[in-house]
Structure 1
């Protein structure tokens, strides 16, 4: 398992206070909302705040692209990496 995916799983469990779940219980490809993990819109807001704090993510508005990024742990990890890469490139420019 990818280290960033492990961090995202731990952040989900901690920030949403999912006491009956361990990070290793979450499948990286499992849907986070409705089916799968069963998170809801309030969880999405709380998770968004936690991701902004931990990874400095910029989430301008809720769009279909953002919803796609929040679909699974793996898609969230890709989104985080893409923003970190963009930030690093901007700093070098």
Structure 2
């Protein structure tokens, strides 16, 4: 697991107060929403704010691109790396 993927998993857990989830419970390639981790649109907003605060990267609203970026930990990590 890359360091950035680990950081993103910790960010997800902390930003969304997922007390019963550990870093090891989140698969890098698993969907974050609906299936997989089961996050919803409110979680997406909170996660977007957390990413902006942590990495100074803004992911615009509910666009097709933003849905791709938020698909999994890996897609978020890839987006953050190219946006730095």
TM range (shorter): over 0.9
Q: Runs of 4 or more off by more than 4 Å in structure 1?
A: none
Residue correspondence of structure 1 range 1-93 to structure 2 within 5 A: 1-84=1-84
1:44-74 Cα shifts (integer Å, max 9, x gaps): 0000000000000122332101110000000
CA shift, 1:11, in A, is 0.2
Q: Which residue of 2 aligns with 1:88?
A: none
Which ranges of structure 2 fall in alignment gaps of 5 or more residues? none
TM-score computed with the length of structure 1 as normaliser: 0.87
1:22-53 Cα shifts (integer Å, max 9, x gaps): 11210000100000000000000000000000
SS of the residue corresponding to residue 19 of structure 1 reads coil
TM-score computed with the length of structure 2 as normaliser: 0.96
Which ranges of structure 1 fall in alignment gaps of 5 or more residues? 85-93
Larger radius of gyration: 1
Which structure has the higher relative contact order (CA within 8 Å, separation 6+)?
2
State the alpha-carbon separation in 2 of the partners of residues 49 and 19 from structure 1. Answer: 19
Flag the structure with higher helix content: 1
Cα RMSD (Å) of the superposition?
Answer: 0.8
